[in-house]
Amino acid sequence: MQQVSLLLASLPDGILLGLVYGLAAMGLTLIWGVMNVINLSHGPIIALGMFGTFFLFIRMGINPYIGLFVIAALGLLLGILIYAAAVHRVINAPHLSSLLATFSVNMIIIGLGTAVFTTSPYNVDFNMGSFRLGPITLLGTRLIAALVAILYTGALYLFLYRTRPGKFIRAVANNRDAAELMGVPSTRILALSFGLGTMLAAVSGALIATFFPFSILSGGGYELKSFVIGVLGGLGNPLGALLGGLILGLLEGIIPAFLETSWVPVIEFALFVVILLIRPTGLFGAKR
Amino acid sequence: MSRKLLALTSLFAIVALVLAACGPAATTAAPTTAPTEPPKATAEEPQATAAPTQAPAEPTLVEKTVTIGFTSSLTGAQEVSSKRQVNGFNLWMNQINDAGGLELADGTLVKFAAQTYDDESTKERVQELYTRLITEDNADFLISPYSSGLTAAAAIIAEQNGKVMITVGAAEDDAYKQGYANVFQLYTPGSLYLISTVDMLKQLDPEAKVAIVHENDKFSTSVVSGLKPYLESQGFEIVLEEGYASDTTDFGPVINKLAESGATVLLGGGHYPDGSTFARQLYERKVGLKFISLLVAPADSKFPELGDAALGVSTSSQWELKATHTEEEAAALNIEWYGPSGTDFAAAYEATFGDKPTYHAAGGYAAGLLLQKAMLDAGSADPEKVKAALEAMNIFTFYGGIQFDTTPEAHGLQISHEMVVAQWQKSDAGELVREVIWPADVATADPLYPVPAP
């Protein structure tokens, strides 16, 4: 009985967090889906999003949710810049080249971030209250973050399916050569896709900063989660990423009800390996 | 031909530059690196104390630079506390050097130099760098890195190479039960860390139901290994015992377990990053605990950044300025007093670094002070003689008692130092201040019990 009550208390938390993890993973999976690049600078960009919230809210007094627009715009620009500087030239090279290029960007951001912010933890003292329903406590910040994650997913789908640049992105993802033959400016579309992926990572970081302390190194953990989610949902499948995030969040809610919390990463990564072995395209199908 | 030679030379130069840039950033903390202008009394204190053991004044003192090697966590999870520890140590070293050095009975005038590297809070770097400190930098003595896990890694290297290492910021007991002969612990051992807190609880609320939720690392588990049997011996009911990974950020599931367990008191935590996160989430979720004691994090001056989430959170502290140890205390115990007073140390620290010293900073300073006293007692900077002096040491400083176990079973374990309990409370002006609440004879405020509901 106690276990059931514990489960009830932990599940909503897992769902809310899972949606935010899903948003972060969506950035990674979008980039993979469109250009077959595994973006190893994903983690530090999430961390930069966290620092974005810190500086906009703590230093400039801007509400973190209004600040999201600024962080999204900066994330998009940063992504386009990274694409132009580090990814574009290796986009047709073997995977290892793009892997190393984005890893270098990862090291540059961490190095610069460490010099500027140190690796001390930062904290955004922001509270949106909490709501209690029996054994369930819902934190306002997590609830809003989950809603924002759903909104962003919806907006991304509208963009991809209802707008011309979105359709271009899908075309490039399906067959770049054919898209180019149809007059799609593939370089610009690839840059835009990388920018969007980076934007999603930065926004998820900005949301996470409203409820967890962070440092410039914090993105690493979320990057790993993004890989697990990507594999669960199918790399290259943005909606799969959201569902994969939800599954991961649920696991993080359920496991501690029965085992010590230190078992959570063990089970998560065991699942990662199992999915890779038995269903490498992910539970919801990867981009072909 | 000459163009080829030029190209070849340039290539070598570039490779050499790249290799040099890739190497670990070594910084020798010269006396001028930390801009300290210590109060005269503080700088002179060690010399005044040392006077009886000094050699008769001779015109020909032989100057010797003693290199003290250590790593610090300039980056990574242990950064906050590690930097404070190093600040304390540098303050001590600069004071000694600025005062002209340390005059020993064998006619040596010792000046100190620090050789230090960033260990990035990882054990792999610690082992690599301590080997380098010993074999390449020829460090004469070693100070441990911050945290028990990193210290355990460094202790192996120190012991293998027969180097004396003062461990500070490292409370775990096990490292001193491995048969090591060269490692000396400054902190109260982890297994005794929360004993004072339990004693206080016994008086405040003997019916308290206790939850132990701790980081799964060497230090925190060693604290729990001593805490659990002591709680049981005092008749407390332990309703939950749970470990969490060091990089945990979401404490929601743990807090739900805590709420389900019916616990009224939480004892646990680990280090700064997890402890501050845990405290914040406990506050947000309004768990309604009567008392919260977390390791390490609440002892840092950054902790009030959590705002109201910090209120009522307590910690076991190795040292608090408000309850600093005094010469009178030493006299009452009939133990030799050594070094500056706590207020002098704190004034010098604040003048240098701009903030009040935490116990990590005091520990760093005390590590240097301990080495200084051992050299004076030995009358020499010879490591074997210094080691013998450390083994025979029984002193009292502003930091508290210092004496080491010399039995083969637990050589180097600290047996004299005691903890106090501190708690974040609100001053009359509404500011968060850390008050000492136990032991009663040094308390500066009554315990806030139960802590105010969020």
pLDDT in tens, B348-367: 999 999 999 999 999 999 99
Q: State how far the alpha carbon of A111 is from the alpha carbons of A115, A153, B317, in Å.
A: 6, 31, 34
Do residues A47 and A113 lie in contact, with contact meaning Cβ atoms separated by under 8 Å? Answer: yes
Gap from B249 CA to chain A (nearest CA, Å): 6
Chain A residue at shortest CA distance from B257: A6
Token pair, residue B94, equals 């600069």
Mean pLDDT of A193-207: 97
Gap from A192 CA to chain B (nearest CA, Å): 32
DSSP state of A122: B
Q: Which residue out of A126, A262, A264 would a mutagenesis test of the B interface target, given it has the greatest number of B Cβ atoms within 10 Å?
A: A262
Token pair, residue B266, equals 């939480």
- Please tell me whether the peptide bond between B450 and the residue prior to it is cis, using omega within 30 degrees of 0: yes
Q: State how far the alpha carbon of A12 is from the alpha carbons of A136, A139, B44, B143, in Å.
A: 8, 10, 62, 47
Mean pLDDT of A279-287: 74
- Could you give the CA distance from residue B283 to residue A140 in angstroms, rounded to a whole number? 13
Gap from B447 CA to chain A (nearest CA, Å): 26
Residue B397's SS3 state is: strand
| Boundaries of every domain in chain B | 26-188+323-403, 192-317+420-442
Do residues B454 and B255 lie in contact, with contact meaning Cβ atoms separated by under 8 Å? Answer: no
What pLDDT was estimated at residue A255?
87
pLDDT at A262 over 80: no
Token pair, residue B258, equals 């805590």
| Interface membership of B286 toward A (CB under 8 Å) | yes
Strand B291-295 with B313-317, pairing:
parallel
What pLDDT was estimated at residue A9?
82
Chain B residue at shortest CA distance from A213: B277
Question: Which candidate, A93, A43, A6, places its Cα nearest to that of A197?
Answer: A43
User: Which residues have a Cβ under 8 Å from the Cβ of B141 and sit 6 or more positions away?
Assistant: B66, B67, B68, B69, B163, B164, B165, B166, B371, B383, B386
Q: Which residue has the tokens 């009975």?
A: B105
| Interface membership of B257 toward A (CB under 8 Å) | yes
Residues of B in contact with A121 (CB under 8 A): 80, 272-273, 276-277
Percent share of chain A, pLDDT over 90: 62
The domain over range B26-188+323-403 is classified in CATH as 3.40.50.2300: yes
Alpha carbon A6 to its chain's center: 28
Token pair, residue B309, equals 């989430």
In CATH terms, are B26-188+323-403 and B192-317+420-442 the same topology?
Answer: yes
- Could you give the CA distance from residue B70 to residue B117 in angstroms, rounded to a whole number? 7
What pLDDT was estimated at residue A232?
87
What pLDDT was estimated at residue B17?
43
- Amino acid (1-letter code) at residue B94: N
- Could you give the CA distance from residue B302 to residue B277 in angstroms, rounded to a whole number? 12
Q: How confident is the model at residue A254 (pLDDT cuts 50, 70, 90)?
A: confident
DSSP state of A211: T
- Could you give the CA distance from residue A22 to residue A146 in angstroms, rounded to a whole number? 10
| Boundaries of every domain in chain A | 2-278
Q: Do residue B254 and residue A125 have CB atoms under 8 angstroms apart?
A: no
Q: Do residue A261 and residue B244 have CB atoms under 8 angstroms apart?
A: yes
- Could you give the CA distance from residue A253 to residue A5 in angstroms, rounded to a whole number? 12
| Interface membership of B413 toward A (CB under 8 Å) | no
Half-sphere exposure of A267 (CA within 13 A, CB side): 17
* Cα angle B221-B226-B230, degrees, rounded to a multiple of 5: 140
ipTM: 0.82
What pLDDT was estimated at residue A287?
54
What pLDDT was estimated at residue B48?
39
* Cα angle A232-A238-A244, degrees, rounded to a multiple of 5: 25
What is the average pLDDT score of chain A?
90
Mean pLDDT of A170-174: 91
Half-sphere exposure of B257 (CA within 13 A, CB side): 24
Q: State how far the alpha carbon of B19 is from the alpha carbons of B14, B15, B131, B155, in Å.
A: 9, 6, 19, 29
| Interface membership of B76 toward A (CB under 8 Å) | yes
- Could you give the CA distance from residue B370 to residue B364 in angstroms, rounded to a whole number? 10
What pLDDT was estimated at residue B3?
53
Q: Which residue out of A123, A215, A224 would a mutagenesis test of the B interface target, given it has the greatest number of B Cβ atoms within 10 Å?
A: A123
The CATH label, of 3.40.50.11780, 3.30.70.100, 3.40.50.2300, 3.30.43.10, for the domain at B192-317+420-442 is: 3.40.50.2300
Beta strands in chain A (DSSP E): 130-133, 136-139
Residue B81's SS3 state is: helix
CATH of domain A2-278: 1.10.3470
In terms of pLDDT, which residue wins out, B231 or A119? Answer: B231
Query: What are all long-range contacts of A186-189, with beta carbons under 8 Å and residues at least 24 apart?
Result: A187/A88, A189/A34, A189/A165
User: Left (φ > 0), alpha (ψ -120 to 50) or beta: where does B76 sit?
Assistant: left
φ, ψ of residue B260 in degrees (nearest 5): -65, -30
Chain A residue at shortest CA distance from B80: A120
User: Which residues have a Cβ under 8 Å from the Cβ of B193 and sit 6 or more positions away?
Assistant: B171, B223, B226, B227, B295, B316, B419
Q: Which residue has the tokens 């600078």?
A: A41
- Could you give the CA distance from residue B268 to residue B285 in angstroms, rounded to a whole number? 18
Token pair, residue B339, equals 């070094």
- Please tell me whether the peptide bond between B39 and the residue prior to it is cis, using omega within 30 degrees of 0: no
What pLDDT was estimated at residue B54?
52
Residues of B in contact with A213 (CB under 8 A): 249, 273, 276-277, 280
- Could you give the CA distance from residue B220 to residue B148 in angstroms, rounded to a whole number? 9
Q: Do residue A256 and residue B259 have CB atoms under 8 angstroms apart?
A: no
Q: Which of A17, A139, A255 sits opposite B284 (nearest CB)?
A: A139
Gap from A204 CA to chain B (nearest CA, Å): 15
By CB atoms closer than 10 A (0-12, 13-18, 19+), residue B59 is exposed
Do residues B249 and A212 lie in contact, with contact meaning Cβ atoms separated by under 8 Å? Answer: yes
Chain A residue at shortest CA distance from B308: A125
Please give chain B's pLDDT, 454 residues, in tens: 445 544 554 554 454 444 444 444 443 333 333 333 333 333 334 443 444 445 555 558 899 999 999 999 999 888 989 999 999 999 999 999 999 999 999 999 999 999 999 999 999 999 999 999 999 999 999 999 999 999 999 999 999 999 999 999 999 988 898 999 999 999 999 999 999 999 999 999 999 999 999 999 989 999 999 999 999 999 999 999 999 988 888 898 889 889 889 999 999 999 988 999 999 999 988 888 999 999 999 998 889 988 889 999 999 999 999 999 999 999 999 999 999 999 999 999 999 999 999 999 999 999 999 999 999 999 999 999 999 999 999 999 999 999 999 999 999 999 999 999 999 999 999 999 999 999 988 899 999 999 988 7
Token pair, residue B82, equals 């590690």
Token pair, residue A182, equals 């149809």
Half-sphere exposure of A275 (CA within 13 A, CB side): 24
Q: Is the dihedral of CA B1, B3, B8, B13 positive or negative?
A: positive
Question: Which candidate, B204, B146, B166, places its Cα nearest to that of B421?
Answer: B204
Q: Do residue A260 and residue B247 have CB atoms under 8 angstroms apart?
A: no
pLDDT at A149 over 50: yes
Residues of B in contact with A252 (CB under 8 A): 250, 253
